[in-house]
Structure 1
């Protein structure tokens, strides 16, 4: 979802079962089987056209002795919640590919930053505003000693204690406008807090979304104006070095953020914090609720930036997909992405699509968003994809995604909090049956009050996933990341299984690599190097739990 405050009129929504500890309360029992949970499987097959696809994803794969012992240990924890939580925290979990930086920061840290910057808070709305603190406001620093004020800010700036049956959709998106005055000031500090947390969750990689050179992009879009001829509009942006000027501004902004991050994390010193070891890449976001010329300018900037600066890898469209302008311009925006993909073939694309549900929009608006993201925009990944089975010809879309290995990014908690969709209603099992790659993600963990371990634990409990299946989900989060270089895995690992490429076959993760061919792969491919690092972490993890079960 978006890091932008929703500006369109409110819509009726399905009441979300919100508050992650309520909406996604984790079952203590974790199934031993490799099959999806029976209820979820039956629900999926009962959906329109829900028969098995012609080439369904394999339901099992060869399991090693260490994996079997680790799975047995996982099943033994069903009545020990604290130990179960510890298992999922220590489980290697690859990368987080769907993460909004401002929504990922803990609310408590946002309050502290607001206090450090001398910001004020409107007492009526609890919205952070710039100083000085006049009538109707109070210093954010008051939250350091006024616990009631602090707790009120936490509830307003996140989903903490949000009542079941409330309008989770609007509250969730409104939080970004409440703390927005805080987040734009300190990209480096925000990243430091998030990176430490991600590393502490035993992840190795992060792709997080920001709006580069946002003010400059808005000004350039206003200067150039709209032109329905996208090629002509692009020429106007490029003419006279205008777009390159924005790229330079965005890179300077990133340099400043990097410096703040390194200073905050003490990188390169004896006091370096865990976040220094994390591989981080930026995804440039465009505000889908804006005027067409601004959306196009932001997309063009993000894609040009991805080809000029390796820190930036892709673009995405953010803000509520059900907003008035977002609905009106959806097909136009898919055509924008399609055109710009031709102009910037080395830039990657992932798109929020299908973050919709019945009752939120007209039935007609549920019919085509994922399909157009895949067929028109040619996206490489889909964010959310919740309304899949409500789309026209959804089976074909699912088969296309499987054939092209278009991964779907699944953040269970935000889907429940915003859309009220969870359990058997969620298309997780349907995507799996069709062989669509799936990566678990957090979306806005600071707002949702969750972490990636929570999402893995929820998946295991709700859909009866075994340890080998969880392991392959973690592998997918690096396989489908926008990392350069060849993969450690052969072919299509989602349907064919995670089989090591011949160059590294016979090597043992965690031990010195003997093969010259494997060494060349790992040293020459950032993707394969991170995948090998995760395999070494899995080997250590399984050794620990294999000993536990003896």
Structure 2
């Protein structure tokens, strides 16, 4: 099935003279045009022009041009395209809505028909058994529309409807973390992805109780000491690890991993990102962040922390600078933990002008974020050019989910800073955010980028490579230097190797064995080789519906 947003994208698509666009620039957005007319040269790479294509890339690029007016072939092409990892993904918002409805029925939950919210039994009054949705199609569709953007009117308040959905199905998601992961991992694997970083809230109730017990202290070092005293914070870590163990077991059972009937998601490499709600009281935010960073240093399944919930919320706006200071302090305590932050998920009219001036800058400069989620309001910040140059220099990637940016903020096409980031040499990775709520998939995000910004196949390939390069997988990269600035060239141990053509030599093999990141990147290159070979041999881009490269080994 073609997602509704994919069909809408085709209707909005402009006819673009793709070959006339420089590879590192793409279609200039209005904000990018401001860079060229009002500021210094964005980045040396912006004027470098396109890199030479390999013969296989040229054939694949020509095939993409040839099928761009055929929706079915475009969908198959972008499903088959190896797309690396999804680095911005909320587990509860990523699961398919139909599966949430089914789980609500399995768990014996009820639906409050006045709000379409899942509630515990017994059912009565306005509360109707969720299991009724199995036989009542109209009731089922009402739930799906309330829990997602399905059929949402284009002139409606997408922002509120999107965020309200989480509360409506929350009674389902906290009960079924492993089953949710099985569903989400399956979807990613079928989209020819191999890696997933997904956000959850570990030990949520325990962290709330501890925060209330300890209370707030303006001295962050003193506050952290109170949380850690007597093993209290370590107790939360242990609770979070038990939750992860239970979720892993449930996931493996639901996906039949290790059996002859293993589902596609069993091939996915998955890591957790601990999230804290930026709308909570300061003591709770700090406790959740401290827990997440402690977890990231003690359990390899957890890699980073993030702040979630609407960035335009009253508490989120009032506490933004304090939360950035919290993260600055905690990075000093937990230097091995990674930080990725929702920042700049704002737009004029949503908040006061003064709230548009500094969020990305402080996320990068104060909190030390290694990636930025959304970053939509970039050019509305006071020192945005300096911030963009800093991001480029430090290789702070921006996670771009086109569909949710359009649904929540109404920002798309020329208004989106996608081109501006690329002009400045900032790494960009495409992501899904909440594909269950958005009714989309990662293939649609790549197709949107190709059609809206006139990207060539090599540009799409490098966006996919970036999703692993800027992941939090441990180990050395397969790539040399700054690949966004210098291009994707194999690092010394693997220089001269031909992934997918020959087996890695001794020094390269040693790198792959010692680095999860390099090993995953090598597998991605093997997948690209198979994808390009399939396109070149058949001229179809996987016309049969198969996914070349999904079984790619080293």
In the TM superposition, 1:269-280 aligns within 5 A as 269-280=259-270
Aligned position for 2:42: 53
Distance 1:506 1:346, change over 3 A: same
In the TM superposition, 1:167-206 aligns within 5 A as 167-206=157-196
2:508 to 497, 518, 524: 518
2:32 to 39, 44, 52: 44
Q: Give the superposition deviation at 1:61.
A: 1.3
| Cα pair 2:27 2:454 within 8 Å, conserved | no
| Cα pair 2:31 2:379 within 8 Å, conserved | no
2:443 to 431, 453, 457: 453
Q: Give the superposition deviation at 1:27.
A: 2.9
Q: Give the superposition deviation at 1:110.
A: 0.2
In the TM superposition, 1:91-110 aligns within 5 A as 91-110=81-100
Separation of aligned partners in 1, 2:446 and 2:68? 15
| Cα pair 2:30 2:415 within 8 Å, conserved | no
Matched, 1:69 2:59: yes
Q: Give the superposition deviation at 1:513.
A: 2.3
Cα RMSD for the two superposed structures: 1.7
2:491 to 466, 489, 501: 501
Aligned position for 2:13: 27
| Cα pair 1:93 1:474 within 8 Å, conserved | yes
In the TM superposition, 1:365-514 aligns within 5 A as 365-514=355-504
Aligned position for 1:228: 218
2:517 to 527, 547, 550: 527
Deviations 1:368-399 (A, max 9, x none): 00000000001000000000000001000000
Separation of aligned partners in 2, 1:183 and 1:26? 34
Greater RCO between the two (CA within 8 Å, min separation 6)? 1
Aligned position for 2:230: 240
Deviates more, 1:148-157 or 1:23-32: 23-32
Distance 1:267 1:29, change over 3 A: farther
Separation of aligned partners in 2, 1:275 and 1:181? 24
| Cα pair 1:31 1:466 within 8 Å, conserved | no
Distance 1:67 1:81, change over 3 A: same
Separation of aligned partners in 1, 2:534 and 2:487? 24
Separation of aligned partners in 2, 1:51 and 1:40? 16
Aligned position for 1:339: 329
Separation of aligned partners in 1, 2:67 and 2:5? 25
Secondary structure at the counterpart of residue 202 of structure 1: coil
Secondary structure at the counterpart of residue 40 of structure 1: coil
Distance 1:43 1:335, change over 3 A: closer
Q: Would you say how many aligned residue pairs link Structure 1 and Structure 2?
A: 533
Q: Give the superposition deviation at 1:26.
A: 6.1
Q: Where does the alignment leave 5 or more consecutive residues of structure 1 unmatched? A: 1-17
TM-score (norm 1): 0.94
